[in-house]
Every structure is written in C-alpha cells, then in structure tokens.
Amino acid sequence: MIRHIIAAIATILALWAMFFMYRLDQEADRFGQIHKIIEETKMEVKIEKHPEAVQPIEEPESIQQAPNGEAKKKEDEIQKQLKALKERAGNVMAFKVSPLYKQKCSSCHGVNGEGIIGPRLIGKSPDEVLQALHDFKSGKRKNYVMYGLLSKMNEQQLEDLAKEIGTFEQKLKASQQ
C-alpha cells in the first residue's frame, strides 16, 4: 500500500516537473522571439558632428586660482555656457511634439518621427498611423514593445498620436524653410 502511495506521489511530481519544463520552454521561446524582433528592427544611426554644438568649458580649477572678482565672472561664464549647451541639447528637434509623443514614441521613432530603432513615421497619414496603433494594441501585429506601450492607452490618446504624427511631414517642411 505504501509503495502505491509513493509511486503516485512520484508520478505526480514527475508530471509537475514536465509541466514546469514545458512552461520554461515557452518563456524561452518568447524571449527568443523578442530577441529576433529586436535584431530585425535594428537600424544604423548616423551621428553628425556639429562643431558649434560643443563649446570648450574651462576647468573649475581655474576658478579657484583667480582672484574673487574674476572667479565670479568665470563661474558666471561657465554657467552661461552650460545653459546654452543644455538649450541646444533640448532643441535638437526640428519642431515641437507633444509630451505624449516624447514619452511613448520618441525613443524608438526619433524626436520628429525620423526613425531610430523603430521605422520612420514622417509621411504617414493619420488614418494609416491609427490603424497601425490599433493593430499593435490588439495583437494583430506582433511587437511586444509596441503592445506594452499601447496596452494602457485609451482611444483618445491613440487618435491624438495619429493626428500628431500625420502632421510631421508638414511641420518638417515648414521648419526647413
């Protein structure tokens, strides 16, 4: 009798272990698919150097060596240079975009939809963008990153994004004139 109970327990444990391994295999496959998607969507990013964007800033040690009046002037000058650098870094976009676009889209599609990791959005119509957003959110189009970003967005936010992205081409042309 005890042998039957031990055999039953061993069988149950073996079945549980097989189920557990099956679930681990599913997770491994899911991570493999995510890795494949990331590899397929990799893009080469061209970085252009703008000599006017980098201004040499004096070392802080030079402030300590100067007399008090000069130290204050040098410190003010450094603060002005830092402020100018921060403003340039914050204004690298050709036109302004909404906070929603900045938060949800810009890291992959670029600050103006020119495409980085994700595809280029400039030139897409609002209807085309909205349909793509719905397809990603519903799972009709598979992309775990897009699904994760869109899953908690409401319909109004999706429509706002689609309308905004639909205006990117006009805004880009206007900013280049």
Per-residue model confidence as pLDDT tens digits over 40-89: 777 666 666 655 555 555 545 544 555 567 777 777 877 776 666 554 44
In the prediction, which pLDDT does 63 show? 47
Domain match, 29 and 56 both? no
How many distinct structural domains can be found in the chain?
A: 3
The label of the residue with tokens 């391994």 reads: 21
Domain match, 168 and 112 both? yes
Residue at 128 is within a domain: yes
How many CB atoms within 10 Å of residue 34?
A: 13
Per-residue model confidence as pLDDT tens digits over 115-158: 888 888 889 999 999 999 999 889 898 888 888 888 889 999 99
**Domain enclosing residue 77, as ranges:** 51-90
**Separation CA 169–CA 7 (nearest Å):** 70
**Separation CA 117–CA 120 (nearest Å):** 9
In the prediction, which pLDDT does 151 show? 86
Residue at 153 is within a domain: yes
